[in-house]
Amino acid sequence: MKRIYTIDIIIRSMMIHFIEGGGFSGNIYLIEGDHPVIIDTGWDANIDRIAPQIEQALGGKELDKIILTHRHVDHIGGALAIKKKFGGTIYAQKEEAEALRQGDPESTGARMFGTRVKPMDVVDLDDGDVIDLGDGGSLKVMKTPGHTTGGICLLDSEGGLFSGDTVFTEGGVGRWDLPTGDFKMLLKSIEALAELPIVSLYPGHGMPAEKNGAEHIKLSLKNLKGYGAYG
């Protein structure tokens, strides 16, 4: 009998540009496509450092959406400047969106870092929403509270996870001691993420992992359970 061996080949066709956050600034990701999307915008309203890379990635297209994983100033600070220069509608989970519409200095961390957040127009997202990227690609919104109350991860249609500050590579986890943060919620969120067959992990700080994303998340879960034992 002839045996047929099958080999799983993972092909990620999505073109994702990584703009590394400098200093306190969060990472920025740009997904190319019919409807280009930016995920998080970094700390700074002065976007001179990042604008050339965004411009090159867009290749003359307008941005379609600016999606914010959560309300913190190191992820949303560049949103209005990016929108002004490259277009796009700003989206965030509805609890986070409300804080951004108000320009809330406390829960965004703006006051803590001695800066301000300008109130901005934001369209609400919530758990389960699906964002069409064109070219057959999509992003699914997963509400993953714990770092903030309405923080989200975005799961792309090829097994990539944009995880904001919920979970990082190499077993890192988000802080739960900031305003609206909660340890138990964070644990529950990371437990849910650890069940998923994540290929690539694109966190809000530190380096992304193109492969073995699920292993990174499992390590984060193990570490968080360890912190819980002491916390």
First to last CA, the chain: 59
Work out whether 104 is an interface residue with Zn ion (CB under 5 A).
no
Q: Which helix (DSSP H) or strand (DSSP E) does residue 76 occupy?
A: helix 73-76
Comparing CA positions, the residue from 108, 149, 106, 101 lying closest to residue 122 is 101
Quote the least distance from Cβ 41 to Zn ion, whole Å: 13
Span interacting with Zn ion, options 2-10, 89-97, 128-136, 164-172, rule CB under 5 A: 164-172
Q: What residue type is 141 in one-letter code?
A: V
Q: Is 72 in the site for Zn ion (CB under 5 A)?
A: yes
Q: 203-227 as b/e, with b when 16 or more CB fall inside 10 Å? A: bbbeebbeeebbebbbbbbebbeee
Task: State the Cα–Cα distance between residues 132 and 113, nearest whole angstrom.
Answer: 35
Kindly tell me which of 147 and 216 has the beta carbon lying closer to Zn ion: 147
96 counts as binding Zn ion under rule CB under 5 A: no
In terms of CB distance, is 35 or 72 closer to Zn ion? 72
Strand 130-134, strand 137-143: pairing: antiparallel
Contact between 71 and Zn ion per CB under 5 A: no
> Applying CB under 5 A, does 165 fall inside the site for Zn ion?
yes
Q: How far is the CB of 66 from Zn ion (least distance, A)?
A: 17
Q: Nearer to Zn ion by C-beta: 152 or 199? A: 152
Q: How many CB atoms lie within 10 A of CB 87?
A: 15
Nearer to Zn ion, 44 or 165 (CB): 165
User: Which of positions 186-215 make contact with Zn ion (CB under 5 A)?
Assistant: none
Nearer to Zn ion, 72 or 83 (CB): 72
Longest CA–CA span in the chain (Å) reads 72
- Residue placing its CB nearer to Zn ion in the complex, 59 or 114: 114
Q: Judged by CB under 5 A, which stretch of 47-55, 113-121, 158-166, 212-220 contacts Zn ion?
A: 158-166
What sign results for the dihedral spanned by CA atoms 189, 194, 195, 201?
A: positive
Chain residues binding Zn ion by CB under 5 A are 72, 165
